[in-house]
Structure 1
Amino acid sequence: MNWDIERAPKIPIYQLIMKHITQSIQNGQLLPGEKLPSERKLATLIGVNRSTIVRVMSELEAKGIIKRQQGSGTVVNDDRWGLSQEPIVDWHQLIKTQQPDEHRRLQDKIKARLHDDTVIDAYTGELPLDLVPAFALPQSNWRDFIEADKNQDDLGYFPLRQAISTLVAQDYQFTLPVEHLMITSGGHQAIFLIVQALLNSGDAVAICQPSFLYALNLFQTAGIRLYGVPMDDQGMRLDLLETEILKHRVKLVMLNPTFQNPTGTTMSLARRKALIKLCQTYKIPIIEDDAFGLLPFDKRQNLPPLKKLDPQNVIYIGSLSKIIGSTTKIGWISAPPAVLEKLSIARQDLDLTLSIFPQVLANYALSDITFQDKLASLRAKISARMTYFFDLIGHDITCHRPAGGFYVWLKLSTDTLTKKQMDAFLGVGILCLPSFIFGDKTPAIRLNIARLNFEEITRLVETLQELKQTGLC
């Protein structure tokens, strides 16, 4: 069998490999029931990253073109191929498998209400426009962006990487070397690349419970098994993490220890050091998502990132989305160069382009001499909204008070969180996310207080207290 893939410009390599295998089956070079080379061997034969072959095989299996048999490897599907040059699409089965689950239906109902001016939007996970810092942009033209693109390599726009390194040094007093930094299209792309390049289908990842990572479909799509580790007021419980490591052969620990999403909890310094020691013992890398780390209400109480405590074994993810708006789509990964090279290759294989435009704009913002002042002003404004909320809520309703970030984790007084309760929240115009979206059965909701002005916070608290009187909160 010839595995020389004819490359084509602007067509992702994984699509060319899929086409090659499909045509080889149709013309009889690959026969029904014939065994294909292993993923590792196929990657070597073709000269691509193994993650590319994993994606090819997953998509071919989903289409019914191949079958994966445990212990026997991957074979051409003899149930469908060889009968027709053009297999018939099973539309009914395709539609059935794509039906949204209950979680997706709930979020669709919430999103449908976002354009209603009467609702209280504590759902959307970003700043309102009035809090987004305004930066003056220098005059530029199209040629300026073309010229700037010359300073971009596989790791991103070099001046922006320098600006991010400077920002981290100012706020955390430690250095992320520019050669260890890779720009991504937001924090979610950073997580996606890590999953694609460093994990294989069936691998186990330990995360906090609850966690926003439960809400990301990319883990399920990639066949990654997530194991939630309960938290206490110090962060992820390490005794339970060790149990999961021993039971499930955990390959990565992934968490956001500072102003955790959704609970707002910050992992203590002692717990951070113990986590690092535990993961070093079992030789497990840590993926640290620090999306909210630049938003402490009191910088004097800010704790060092895990990356600062263990530069070699922690892959660090940062983002500007929570500061200058999600539409900018600027995130970054700090990791050893060998890891960044693997992530970069995966991005190229998946044809995930990195536009120069948002990178140049982000660099303008970070290079603005007023950036730190505006960042401090943003922290103060969010802190004021949090303080106002907690002053109003009093002790009637149980909430975790965060030391930074956007979110408040409000625990309900009921034994369970039912669809009827969520319908009640929607009915009174409170848009929020329930705990089960984050993989937690504890009756609670996540509220984005940074999203609300003082009038909306007043309405929110009054409505919550009314719901509590009816037994729904």
Structure 2
Amino acid sequence: MSERTTLHTTDEICRLIATTMSRSGMRGLTETFVKLVKDGTLSPGDRLPSIRQLADYLGVSPTTIASAWSHLAQLGLLNSHGRRGSFVSETARSTPATPRWRFYEDQRTYTLDFATGVPDPRLLPNPMTSITNLGSSAITSYLDPPVYQPLAETLRSRAPQRFSDRGFSLTVVDGALDAIDRLLAAMPTYQRAVVLEEPNFPALYDLVESHGLEVRTVPIDDEGITIDVLRNQLIKGGVGLILLQPRSHNPTGYSLSLERASAFAELLLQFPEVLVVEDDHSGLLSTAPLYTMVDQLGSRVAYVMSFSKSHGPDLRLAAIFADRDLVHELDRRRTLGPSWSSKLLQAVLNHMLNDPATDELIAGAQQIYAERRIAVAELFAIDPRGSGINVWVDRSDALGALLQLAHHHIRVAPGANFYAANPAAANQFRFTLSEPTVEFNRALERVAMALAGASYASSYR
């Protein structure tokens, strides 16, 4: 963008929009705004006209302006500060909005939602079947160990064998984010930096910063974290933890390759003070191989296995496999709060993990998600690489598709949501392979219809 020493007044912005618009309505307004930002006419920090001021100037309904502003905020191009007004945001987000992670409240403006990042509820096993088959309550005493013993035995049989071979301890917590939260809290006070892949799940940036820790980002490609940039971050010093998503990465769906995992482990041997957290959030739902670095790094790895996407988000359960002393410290700190995750839910999960019918359901879900991935990739004319429940659309003209979908009240997750700072985010978005209210194939047909007038070709049939 071009540099300026002064910002536009709201009257000037009204005139700029009016003279640039080539199409009327909400769609014309959003396209005009994007053009003015991309060519540098509008700059970060420009204060936008109020909805009423711009509506009066253009002679349109305030609802049209409000709808356009809502879509632009979703794209990360506009920030609203209540009574202070709305401003052109930093597209690169060098100073990120806080918090980055939020649940959107304007659901009524969308008829289809592919931005959720949650599994299809129709593909999840029914926990009530397991509850009715439990012999008795698992809850006996406040003094029981935090992990339901039958579940501990099952988890050791379902997790990678190398963790049991190395004598790792395990504990059960309330989901993957809870696990990461507790591991961050256990970091030594003299190590204040955490390396995160970028793009990444936005809650992880917030979580690291909530502990007063420094976020250091390293870009990823379709084989995982890039080693040269990681090396530079480690050389700076102060890094206590590296948080990796080894497979079915959110938002991209990419997985760590064997070659990249080997190079990563070789590099980390030079930095023995760093803990590597492997966040296997898709767990048993993922079809990609898991390349853990425990063989090379031993007790410097903590492995987190979540069951939210495979067995149900409301179970709120994840297992941490780690060095005995680290697990002991996590359990000790937890006694000051919840002490344990519900033993009843742990018993339900144990029953589901040992139920052949549940395994069949999960295998069926894996196949369905794989088929959906191919269909979505064909729709957007991209490579269907990846696994899990999300597809990453990365094209130079992705912003046009995003605007086209928003115009038809279809939500996807803009790429800017997943970056700490990166200007390329405007050309990316995440598409979740489920829609909460509409059967997926029917929903995808509506997406194809919405894209029919877009400026890029699609081979969808």
Q: Shared topology, TM-score over 0.5?
A: yes
Q: Matches of 1:465 and 1:392 in 2, distance apart?
A: 10
CA–CA distance in structure 2, aligned partners of residues 383 and 347 of structure 1: 38
Query: In structure 2, what is the Cα distance between the partners aligned to 1:106 and 1:252?
Result: 21
> Which of 122, 130, 135 does residue 122 from structure 2 map onto?
130
Question: What is the alpha-carbon distance in structure 2 between the residues aligned to residue 176 and residue 378 of structure 1?
Answer: 28
1:402/1:335 CA distance change after superposition, 3 Å: same
User: For the Cα contact (< 8 Å) 1:159–1:363, is it kept in 2?
Assistant: yes
C-alpha deviations, 1:241-285, integer Å up to 9, x for none? 010111243211111021211111112101101101111211122
Aligned match for 1:112, one of 95, 106, 110: 106
Judge conservation of contact 1:392–1:458 (CA < 8 Å) in 2: no
CA distance change for structure 1 residues 438 and 270 in 2, over 3 Å: closer, same or farther? same
Kindly provide the amino acid, as one letter, of the partner of residue 268 in structure 1. Answer: S
Partner of 2:250, secondary structure, is coil
- The Cα of 1:316 is off from its aligned counterpart by 0.3
- What is aligned with 1:52? none
| Separation of aligned partners in 1, 2:283 and 2:342 | 25
1:252 to 1:104, Cα distance in 2 relative to 1, 3 A: closer
Q: Counterparts of 2:191 and 2:308 in 1: how far apart (Å)?
A: 31
1:29-48 residue pairs with structure 2 within 5 A? none
Find the residue that maps to 1:317 and give its secondary structure.
Answer: strand
Structure 1 SS opposite 2:209? helix
2:239 is the counterpart of 1:250: yes
Alpha-carbon distance between aligned partners in 1 of 2:102 and 2:453, rounded to the nearest angstrom: 24
CA contact (8 A) 2:169 2:324 kept: yes
Deviation string 1:18-52 (CA, Å, 9 cap, x unpaired) is xxxxxxxxxxxxxxxxxxxxxxxxxxxxxxxxxxx
In the aligned structure 1, how far is the partner of 2:189 from the partner of 2:245? 22
Match of 1:286 in 2: 276
Q: Distance in 1 between matches of 2:117 and 2:346?
A: 22
Q: Aligned partner of 1:235: which letter?
A: G
**Bigger relative contact order (CA 8 A; separation at least 6):** 2
Question: Would the aligned equivalents of 2:317 and 2:341 in 1 still touch at CA under 8 Å?
Answer: no
Paired position in structure 2 for 1:402: 385
Please tell me whether residue 413 in structure 1 is matched to residue 406 in structure 2.
no
- Please state whether the residue corresponding to 1:146 is helix, strand or coil: coil
Q: Which amino acid aligns with 1:387?
A: I
Alpha-carbon spacing, 1:400–1:106, altered in 2? closer, same or farther (3 Å): farther
| Residue number in structure 2 paired with 1:355 | 342
Question: Is residue 388–residue 454 contact of structure 1 (8 Å, CA) maintained in 2?
Answer: no
Q: Report matched runs for 1:87-236 at 5 Å.
A: 102=97, 107-108=102-103, 110-113=104-107, 119-134=111-126, 136-137=129-130, 139=132, 144-147=137-140, 152-154=144-146, 156-168=147-159, 172-176=160-164, 180-200=169-189, 203-212=192-201, 215-236=204-225
Q: Residues 405 and 329 from structure 1, CA distance in 2 versus in 1: closer, same or farther, beyond 3 angstroms?
A: same
1:388 CA drift (Å) = 2.2
Moved more, 236-245 or 448-457: 448-457
Matched-pair identity in %:
22
Q: What is the RMSD of the two structures over their aligned residues, measured on CA atoms? A: 3.2
Residue 385 of structure 1 corresponds to 372
> How far apart are residue 166 of structure 1 and its match?
1.3
Deviations 1:85-105 (A, max 9, x none): xxxxxxxxxxx9xxxx85759
- 1:264 matched to 2:264? The reply is no
Distance 1:296 1:324, change over 3 A: closer
Q: 1:325 to 1:139 in 2, by over 3 A?
A: closer
Change (3 A) 1:427 1:335: same
1:67 is matched with none
CA offsets per residue over residues 45-90 of structure 1, 9 Å max, x none? xxxxxxxxxxxxxxxxxxxxxxxxxxxxxxxxxxxxxxxxxxxxxx
Q: State the shift of 1:173 in Å.
A: 5.0
Paired amino acid for 1:134 = N
Q: Secondary structure at the match of 2:126?
A: coil
**Structure 1 letter corresponding to 2:177:** H
Instruction: Tell me the distance in 2 between the aligned counterparts of 1:369 and 1:311.
Output: 33
User: What amino acid is the match of 1:291?
Assistant: H
Q: Please tell me the residue identity of whatever aligns with 1:262.
A: P
Does the Cα contact within 8 Å between 1:410 and 1:446 map onto a contact in 2? yes
Cα shift at 1:468 = 4.1
Match of 1:315 in 2: 302
1:447 aligns to 2:431 (yes or no): yes
Which residue is equivalent to 2:66? none
CA gap of 1:215–1:120, structure 2 versus 1, over 3 A, is farther
- For 2:177 and 2:412, the matched residues in 1 are separated by 21
Which blocks of at least 5 consecutive residues in structure 1 are unaligned?
Answer: 1-95
Which one is further off, 124-133 or 236-245?
A: 124-133
State the number of aligned residues: 354
Letter in 1 for 2:197: C
Note the alpha carbon deviations across 1:91-125, whole angstroms, 9 max, x for none: xxxxx9xxxx85759955x4431x67x62221112
Q: CA deviation at 1:150?
A: 7.7
Q: C-alpha separation between the residues in 1 aligned to 2:235 and 2:119?
A: 40
CA distance 1:387–1:424, change in 2 (3 Å): closer
Q: Which amino acid aligns with 1:145?
A: A
Q: Cα offset for 1:403?
A: 3.4
Residues 331 and 293 of structure 1, relative CA distance in 2, 3 Å threshold: closer
SS in 2 for 1:370: helix
TM-score, normalisation: structure 2: 0.68
Equivalent residue number for residue 277 of structure 1: 266
TM-score normalised per structure 1: 0.67
Q: Verify the 8 A CA contact 2:100 2:202 in the aligned structure 1.
A: no
Contact 1:290 1:319 in 2 (8 A): yes
